[in-house]
Structure 1
């Protein structure tokens, strides 16, 4: 299946996965596990937990593939949502337990780099933090919490002791400002 991967459409892949084709699932894991691991690691900030969660995520994907609806989006988007939700759930359950170590995003990026021996960073992420740093501090803080920390709008509002409407308005304004910064 690896050689044919570029010739197989997403609908054929989904059909093969629904038939419990293990070769198709292995291809899916090989293609998407690095990206999903990166998302999970960014949220939970613990390598061992991220690896465990990645396995749980692919079991969920395998068992719940029938809940994927192609009319609502691409398969990768659905898998990304499964991953993000699983990681956020794990993070919420961990909030009740004390954390021994706090890692910054910068530390996590270096760990992922060493593990995967990436030669070149993903161009979609080049300079993203630098652009976000240009935002007003109140907007930057919200973008960091919601998009880099995995918080929901409600959790960010609670964390910052702000009304939910204020959080949503500031995030919308921050996204608009980021759009302008990317254009320039």
Structure 2
């Protein structure tokens, strides 16, 4: 993680604390830009349709806006788990509202409401962990990609997709030793970035 990125993510707890004290608009926009993709990942993991996802997201953000000032951050083990529980609650609220409206979709929403009710705490934690890992990996790769050449990223992505490094190196006229070195450098940087993001955002 470069110094600029590290400085950004080192302010995460400060950002949450600032939102608690003042509900600052700039801090809120920064929070949304950081966590929105993760929240969407959790939403879709709960089998929410793309048509409903936007409504659930807005409900989640509204709940967070209201609840963050009351949260004891020092007593919270994982903020990501709290977000996942908030998604479940927002989804439940959406389906409950829809089921009360009646009409042709009443039975459908009652069934979906029942399915959400049956998502256990361990399952919510499993979803939170899986989506957090996906989010961190994607974010880390986005950051790391800025520091490596197209050739290095090409080698790494090819291996990630299961291609034989020897075949790829030959096809792209890259010395095999160079290909291995590039792959190792990107992999090490990615793992370091994931670890740093986990520390600063987790």
- TM-score (normalizing by structure 1): 0.47
More helix by percentage = 2
Higher RCO (C-alpha 8 Å, min separation 6):
2
Larger C-alpha radius of gyration, 1 or 2?
2
